[in-house]
Amino acid sequence: MKKINLNLGNKVQSTAQYLFQQGNKSWHNRFIAFGWLAMCLFIPLWIYDIVLGTINGAASLLLVALAGFGFFQLWQKREQLSQLKASEEDKILGYILISVAIAAVPFCLSVEWHQKIIFYIFLTGTAFSTWGFGFFKRYPLPTFLIFMGFFPQPTIFGKMVWTAFTPEAGLERFMAIAGAAGLKVIGQTPSVQWDIISLPDGSVRVDWGCSGFDLATIAAVTSLLLGIFWKQPMWKTSLFVLMGIAFSLIANVPRIMLMTLASVYWGPESFEFWHGFWGGQIFLSILFTVHYYAMLALLDWNPFKANKVTTG
């Protein structure tokens, strides 16, 4: 055990020394290293948001994994990246962007989406000044993963897009109708008015937080991450994402039924349990277990190959 810890300590020390040497290698590297130090001021605030979002059932950790996977892909291609050279115009543009990002840090410590935009500007400036515009053409996937991983307040943005192109309370009303239909199947006598499910002894409103949108967002991000990690083709990764969204919306119906019964008949403590963190985690565990094995079953499925064999 001591030997393992010693080796781990030596590896961390050698990595730190390597980063320090690279950061102090040239004026360009020192400038970028200073920019990274400035961006590190946001880290405590982001950790707080990640912990709080995870407790509330958001996809915070998954987004971190998405960005981390993007950076890991770039690290694997570091030898290829070392061959890219930025033009003088790209370097100047990159340095301007980095300077703007560093100068804006003291003014962006209170608003998360300001911080994320500043971080985007810094990363873009770093890529321009180090590798040039060609970097974005040659490495679109890592760029996309990092962009999505640091996207500011994705749930709020998703809600804005959804409500802009759908009828008012469309998803909430759909879930209320589906939940009421499920309650009828088990012998209850519900009625639905707009987004309210009414039983003889009480009523429950299906708000946005219980519409299944957040659950579908988490499933979509997880499906995208696993599809890329398993090196699946784009069409199959897209299928995984659609499956995750469909499973999430289907699984949200019994969740609505359960919370309705808990609110009307079982008391506030039972409702808070199923509506809160632990109840959400139970549903997430069931959902992702089913979805994970469904994706595994499709890993070797290739209808295009079967068609070629048949026609041949």
182 CB burial (10 A radius; 0-12, 13-18, 19+):
middle
Q: What is the pLDDT of residue 154?
A: 78
**Token pair for 1:** 């055990």
Q: Is the pLDDT of residue 2 over 50?
A: no
**Token pair for 302:** 């290739």
Apex CA 146: angle with CA 140 and CA 151, to 5°? 120
Residue 4 or residue 239, greater confidence: 239
Residues in CB range of 2: below 8 A, 6 or more apart:
none
* pLDDT tens readout for residues 42-100: 999 899 888 887 777 677 888 899 999 999 999 999 889 989 999 999 999 999 999 99
Residue 282, CA atoms < 13 Å, CB-side half-sphere: 9
* pLDDT tens readout for residues 8-38: 556 666 656 655 566 566 899 999 999 999 9
The whole-angstrom separation of Cα 174 and Cα 169 is 9
Strands of 174-223, DSSP E: 191-193, 196-199, 202-205
Average per-residue pLDDT for the chain: 87
The whole-angstrom separation of Cα 312 and Cα 301 is 19
List, in sequence order, every residue forming a beta bridge with 205; answer none if it has no partner: 196
Residues in CB range of 221: below 8 A, 6 or more apart:
59, 62, 63, 66, 148
* pLDDT tens readout for residues 86-120: 999 999 999 999 999 999 999 988 888 899 999 99
Residues in CB range of 159: below 8 A, 6 or more apart:
208, 213
Helices (H), ranges, the chain: 2-23, 27-39, 43-55, 60-76, 78-81, 88-104, 112-131, 134-138, 140-149, 154-165, 170-185, 213-229, 234-261, 268-275, 277-297, 303-311
Would you give the DSSP letter of residue 109? S
What SS3 state is found at 84?
coil
Q: What is the pLDDT of residue 209?
A: 86
How many helices (H) does the chain have, and how many strands (E)? 16, 3
Q: What is the pLDDT of residue 18?
A: 58
Q: What is the pLDDT of residue 1?
A: 40
* Of the listed ranges 21-35, 201-215, 254-268, 282-296, the one predicted with least confidence: 21-35
pLDDT band at residue 246 using 50, 70 and 90 as cut-offs: very high
Phi-psi group of 264: left, alpha or beta (phi > 0 → left; psi -120 to 50 → alpha; rest → beta): alpha
Task: State the pTM of this model.
Answer: 0.78
- Site of tokens 């088990």: 186
The whole-angstrom separation of Cα 186 and Cα 183 is 5
Mean per-residue pLDDT, 258-284:
89
Q: Which of 83, 171, 167 is nearest to 130 (CA)?
A: 83
Residue 152 or residue 7, greater confidence: 152
Q: Which of 286, 277, 196, 275 is nearest to 248 (CA)?
A: 286
Count the neighbouring beta carbons within 10 Å of the beta carbon of residue 173: 18
CB 287 within 8 A of CB 219: yes
